[in-house]
A and B are shown apart, each in its own frame.
Chain A
């Protein structure tokens, strides 16, 4: 099984998520993670969908089927080595009085994770990185009582020098940020 990251640029319209995910469902391809947000271009959304698949050919077909959707502007399928990618994870860790104190220095320096919220008897730690890095940190922090753990979908940009502007010319899509 190879991990593929599918990046999809679309117009920002209601129901499009459904239309896109149906294409995966119909081919019985499980979505490992999915992230959507509006891009720096007004009205343009970016989907980042991670799947695992045995056949590159099938993934190429999938990409073409997604491209067929009327509101889809561009679709790219990437292997892990072709992208820079990250996820974000939040760990809610129990810190009641008398428990083992957190080793903040290790958390910061070794794992590049940060405490982003101090509750009365818990803290929330944020860790960004790829899934391996996040689970390495998970392995470390589980010695404390993890009350909640949540991991975002992947966000990714291609390593090619081409920018978005080559696919979505600026004359057509103004920046809004």
Chain B
């Protein structure tokens, strides 16, 4: 992410070098295009409309340099940009019109903010003279997005374009990444710049200085705690993948012999078959990693923010342990859990510095304590789920089989709910950056557009979306985008005709009062075919393997609907508001 800052300033000038010629002055829209090209943007996800039309007009001349993808709904543009950003490790770009165009993007912006996904959203706005008049398709997008963006700015004159655009990319991609929004008035898009276009990539901002290299004193304090620990435990969040610190993490834990667990978004940071990997944390995470959190004497939290889905009741969380918290965003330090040794910096740099100071250690006895819980979980949950012969197909079987058929090398893009948790539980991730999911926001409808964006961002990787029947119906129109752009996205709907996770909670905590969670679903395959996508339904255990083969071998996008057990629950589970030690196996 930080690589951008290390690139020498790239200056683009429109002023001809011969001084006696009159420089050609360009419009704000054209300046925007030139700026995007200078930032190396090759793909934009967008939807045109009245207040962004001058930009679309300029884009017409840039089609050879910028691939614009027309989505079916602005929310789809946002999630697609998120998927693209996660694969490319740089900002995804959205382009939408004012008013409803911008407000439709809001969910994706909030999602990107909480999951630290870099995104630059360029939004049309009514002309400057109409601002604040309740003009047609005017919405106070600055006001609306202020709390859910890392930064936003309203451009009201064309001359501002180069500087603001370069700041937007720098802010979105540096430090803790996040979404940035530029609200651009139609008048600024149309008017000519009064000076020659010069584009210089932003290198720093006086009031914004993310600390990449941690202070040595902080690293030393952390190293001392780790070296003296008897039962140390590493918790890995999304920040490690954002910093591309997977190798540094591996070297650190291999040197120290410390067991590693990941958060939901931290999954795939370390291969699931690594001997030091013990599983994932949180409400539906693995049994051992949750229980053992309460037995560690030193917790080393890296690039994670102690989300309530991880901590359960924070007032009862890791009271016995000293905490080393490695985090690039200083506002996360002590926010939920007080850190005894905060290390503010980029995970890659922090881990490098820390690895140099920690001593090799053997924590075999401590590590083995996790194994007894693994055995309990395996015998009570995993085995019955994977070897079921009665009833409908179990979600676990689908994911397990997919995992084997893809050797754990696919990128899973999941939606939100039971299928998301099952995908996390049963997919054996072998490669880094292989899970794209909506973690913090829990946005239903995320997977289909995000899978499409991920496929555009990583054409060489196998992308498989795992979607619930409820989630699918929130953004299914993006099937059209997938087909039009010929992206070989594979999507699996795990269909139980229920809003499964809500139903599970109603069963467990609301006395089976199934309040509005049953869906009358359409024929998903007919819908896919209507969009021009092939697909099939599988409702028999014995045909699941063939169905997955058909999907994976299909040339082009494919929708596989699997009819799964109707009332299946995801366990283990830490009920909301309880401590992680109260994790339930049934």
Contact = CB atoms under 8 A, between A and B. Distances in A.
- A and B: interacting chains: yes
Interface in B136-158: 142-143, 146-147, 150-152, 154
Interface string A50-80: 0000000100110011011011110000000
A26 interface: yes
A64 B331 contact: yes
Contacts of B206: 11, 73, 172
Given A60-B334, A65-B331, A70-B205, A15 B147 contact: no
Contacts of A172: 206
Contacts of B330: 64, 67-68
Contacts of B143: 18
Given A60-B334, A61-B334, A61-B335, A70 B207 contact: yes
Nearest to A19: B146
Interface residues of B, number: 19
Given A61-B334, A65-B331, A67-B331, A15 B207 contact: no
A70 B208 contact: yes
A81 B331 CA distance: 26
A68 B154 CA distance: 20
B333 interface: yes
Nearest to B330: A64
Contacts of A67: 330-331
B155 to A, nearest CB: 12
Contacts of B146: 15, 18-19, 22
Interface in A21-53: 22, 26
A5 interface: no
Nearest to B142: A15
A94 interface: no
Interface in B55-87: none
B205 A68 contact: no
A72 B208 CA distance: 8
Contacts of B246: none
Nearest to B147: A22
B142 A73 contact: no
A42 to B, nearest CB: 12
B171 interface: yes
A70 B151 contact: yes
Contacts of B297: none
B329 interface: yes
A15 B181 CA distance: 14
Interface in A101-127: none
Contacts of A150: none
A14 interface: yes
Contacts of A60: 334
Interface string B335-353: 1000000000000000000
A68 B207 CA distance: 10
Nearest to A57: B334
* A: interface residue count bin: 20 to 34
A102 to B, nearest CB: 45
B522 to A, nearest CB: 39
B231 to A, nearest CB: 27
Nearest to A43: B206
B331 A11 contact: no
A72 B205 CA distance: 11
A131 to B, nearest CB: 31
Nearest to A20: B146
Interface string A1-20: 00000000011001100110
Interface string B151-187: 1101000000000000000010000000000000000
Interface string B190-212: 00000000000000011110000
A15 B151 CA distance: 11
A14 B331 contact: no
Nearest to A25: B147
A22 B145 CA distance: 11
Nearest to A61: B335
Nearest to B329: A68
B531 to A, nearest CB: 40
A65 B147 CA distance: 12
Contacts of A26: 147
A73 B208 CA distance: 7
B147 A70 contact: no
Interface in B461-492: none
Contacts of B333: 64
B216 to A, nearest CB: 22
A38 B369 CA distance: 60
A90 to B, nearest CB: 31
A14 B154 contact: yes
Contacts of B150: 70
A70 B334 CA distance: 20
Instruction: Kindly name the residue among B143, B207, B330 whose own CB sees the greatest number of chain A CB atoms within 10 A.
Output: B207
A10 B334 CA distance: 24
Interface string A166-177: 000000100000
A14 B205 CA distance: 17
B329 A70 contact: no
B64 to A, nearest CB: 34
A68 B147 contact: no
Nearest to B146: A19
Contacts of A61: 331, 334-335
A14 B155 CA distance: 11
A26 B148 CA distance: 12
A18 B206 CA distance: 21
A72 B335 CA distance: 19
Contacts of A57: 334
Contact of B207 (A10, A18, A64, A65): A10
Instruction: Kindly name the residue among B205, B208, B329, B330 whose own CB sees the greatest number of chain A CB atoms within 10 A.
Output: B208
Nearest to A68: B331
Contacts of A10: 207
Given A11-B207, A70-B151, 19 more contacts: A10-B207, A15-B142, A15-B146, A15-B152, A22-B146, A22-B147, A60-B334, A61-B335, A64-B330, A64-B331, A64-B333, A65-B331, A68-B330, A70-B207, A70-B208, A71-B207, A71-B208, A72-B207, A73-B207
16 contacts: A10-B207, A11-B207, A14-B154, A15-B146, A61-B334, A61-B335, A64-B331, A64-B333, A64-B334, A67-B331, A70-B150, A70-B207, A70-B208, A71-B208, A72-B207, A73-B207
